[in-house]
Amino acid sequence: QKEVEQNSGPLSVPEGAIASLNCTYSDRVSQSFFWYRQYSGKSPELIMSIYSNGDKEDGRFTAQLNKASQYVSLLIRDSQPSDSATYLCAVEDSSASKIIFGSGTRLSIRP
């Protein structure tokens, strides 16, 4: 069974600081990785996709991928109260056309 692991949190970060969210995965040949944000009672929404080793930046968000270590992370700079949500890491199963999710990390930004 292929797995995606995340620390469930909650992760508490002061407003304006950098929030760092981590994810490891078991499928060595996965090529596609995604970060979703989910507010309570809402559906997941895509923040970032990353496919190559290294960093990918989009506004205050940076995704980092290290395929050799089977590790993907999400950094949120200048954290805002509106960033308080659950962040889901998702990884493509390379053997089938499906995406596997981690259990999510709950992030709380304190004023």
Partner 1 sequence: NAGVTQTPKFQVLKTGQSMTLQCAQDMNHNSMYWYRQDPGMGLRLIYYSASEGTTDKGEVPNGYNVSRLNKREFSLRLESAAPSQTSVYFCASRDSGDSPLHFGNGTRLTVT
Contact footprint for partner 1 (CB under 8 A): 1, 6, 8, 31-32, 34, 42-46, 49, 51, 88, 90, 92, 96-104
- To partner 1, the closest distance from the beta carbon of 95 in angstroms equals 11
Sign of CA pseudo-dihedral 55, 61, 63, 64 = positive
Q: Which is nearer to partner 1, 32 or 53 (CB)?
A: 32
**Hey, what amino acid is at 108?**
S
Q: Which is nearer to partner 1, 45 or 57 (CB)?
A: 45
- To partner 1, the closest distance from the beta carbon of 11 in angstroms equals 15
Q: State residue 29 phi and psi, 5-degree precision.
A: -105, 10
Rounded to 5°, angle at Cα 67 from 62 and 68? 130
Q: Which is nearer to partner 1, 10 or 81 (CB)?
A: 10
CB 27 within 8 A of CB 91: yes
